[in-house]
Structure 1
């Protein structure tokens, strides 16, 4: 690829990582008006659902036009099921956890999902557990513990609850990553993502309807703008940006660039939310990003067999 294409690819991935990192900021700002995890999550899905549904419809029509086979019902059911784990369940845990922890701690805890993926993969899917993976896990959780202890001294027991919820979200997303590969290979990433996200969105909205009788619309315009930002700027648009960048610069460069996402979240949290950034936060962040980055580098250098 020419230099211009590579530059565009890098810029797309950087933009995608930046937008992804803004999710916790949008949610935290919305909590200043309504500290309600299910409400902001439902509105996030309201804004994202039409886009993912349209992408799925476009993909189905394209397949019909080109004479390509439709995915089997079992594959569709699998995509729906794993979408509920990786998005519906993971998002509820994550957004609820954000009620109790800082955006910085949330992002670092969520960023540990590759480490959970290593051990879950080894325990349930027969993946090889390497010494470098164990080292990466130790360094990563040492860093997370450093930030947790610092925040716990200020926030009390709710910090523990919030951290456990976000780590639960990371576990759910790790399981999603392990299982989703099969269905992506069968139906393609665009259609799979559309089905998985649409199923999660519809389930979230049904959850709200059953629990609360409907979707609250009494919030301010500012709240709806934050919800739209969460659904579009922090969910839909970066998904397309990262995928487009991945096609241009490859998985290695994309993975390395994506490692800056927690750093961007921390920067936004300090600047926009006024969160404190201490020496403990700096050390913990360096350890978490370093541990995950080390594992990513080792895997990209000599990937483990599937």
Structure 2
């Protein structure tokens, strides 16, 4: 019988990486909202994020290929195309839908809607990737969506303009990101976390920057103030580069479903920052809705870990 690694030690590191990535990703909506307040378009805001991130990923990519010759052998044309396609789905399509949705809804609400992606990770795993359905997770899902409905109803009553479109866009981001997580792990198993992340993010960055140059025009960037560029820097480093590596490292160690179930600190951090920095409202309805969402997520994570067992 072969010796097995300590699952608790491995899981502790994997969960730690996933949680750190989720917390940093939670700052993204704040920086985006601040950029929107300066009149920056959705396309330009996404491009600013990628302009900062792209050089980092390219440098790391070239370093990996130079220091690890075996990595070049892994990147067959079909594998390279697959990594690029998955990166486009997770870092371009999902990101653009999320950025576009934030133009219509609050940062708090956006984060809570996006927070439903673990449920889609579960469902997609069952429908497309051969996972077994865990029906014990359904009550947790219902509790979470009940919380979203509380906040959605409040928004619909108080400020309904753009709410349905914004919700649909952010929900589309959650759907595409959930599907990305399953596809990403299959690529990372072959080429490694760092190499996949660099390829996927670099591809998405080129597309996002190209889209903005077509939509906004190159002259737009010369008119940006130093403050806007600072927001782009913060968004690129703390809202993109660091969390992307942390999250993908978590996926590689503990899997897509486990990683998706560790993000409960993200909405809390977003709510605190949104209230303190953006001046967003936090009413009794927000408190009740957020509590239900977090409760549902906690139950989902606990039941999911029990179903998978200590060795996964």
Question: What TM-score range do you get, normalising by the shorter chain?
Answer: 0.7 to 0.9
Aligned to 1:286, the other structure's residue is in SS state helix
Match of 1:302 among 294, 300, 307: 307
Aligned to 1:69, the other structure's residue is in SS state helix
Distance 1:196 1:12, change over 3 A: closer
Match of 1:135 among 111, 135, 139: 139
Unaligned runs of 5+ in 1: none
Match of 1:37 among 42, 49, 73: 42
In 1, Cα distance between equivalents of 2:257 and 2:186 = 21
Give the CA deviation at 1:301.
Answer: 2.3
Equivalent in the alignment of 1:71: 75
5 Å matches for 1:203-282? 203-214=207-218, 216-217=220-221, 218-240=223-245, 258-282=263-287
Shifted more, 116-125 versus 33-42: the winner is 116-125
5 Å matches for 1:1-306? 16-64=21-69, 69-214=73-218, 216-217=220-221, 218-240=223-245, 258-303=263-308
Q: Do the aligned residues in 1 keep the contact of 2:115 with 2:267 (CA within 8 Å)?
A: yes
Distance 1:248 1:125, change over 3 A: closer
Q: Do the aligned residues in 1 keep the contact of 2:185 with 2:252 (CA within 8 Å)?
A: no
Shifted more, 286-295 versus 224-233: the winner is 286-295
Give the CA deviation at 1:11.
Answer: 8.3
Distance 1:164 1:13, change over 3 A: closer
Provide the aligned length of Structure 1 versus Structure 2.
301
Equivalent in the alignment of 2:3: none
In 2, Cα distance between equivalents of 1:8 and 1:264 = 21
Q: Do the aligned residues in 1 keep the contact of 2:193 with 2:248 (CA within 8 Å)?
A: no
Q: Do the aligned residues in 2 keep the contact of 1:13 with 1:246 (CA within 8 Å)?
A: yes
Q: Do the aligned residues in 1 keep the contact of 2:65 with 2:71 (CA within 8 Å)?
A: no
In 2, Cα distance between equivalents of 1:11 and 1:182 = 21
Distance 1:8 1:303, change over 3 A: closer
Distance 1:301 1:183, change over 3 A: same
Q: Do the aligned residues in 1 keep the contact of 2:94 with 2:174 (CA within 8 Å)?
A: yes
In 2, Cα distance between equivalents of 1:176 and 1:239 = 13
Q: Do the aligned residues in 1 keep the contact of 2:121 with 2:260 (CA within 8 Å)?
A: no
Give the CA deviation at 1:123.
Answer: 2.4
In 2, Cα distance between equivalents of 1:155 and 1:38 = 25
In 2, Cα distance between equivalents of 1:52 and 1:249 = 24
Report the TM-score, using the length of structure 2 for normalisation: 0.86
CA RMSD of aligned residues (A): 3.2
In 2, Cα distance between equivalents of 1:87 and 1:245 = 17
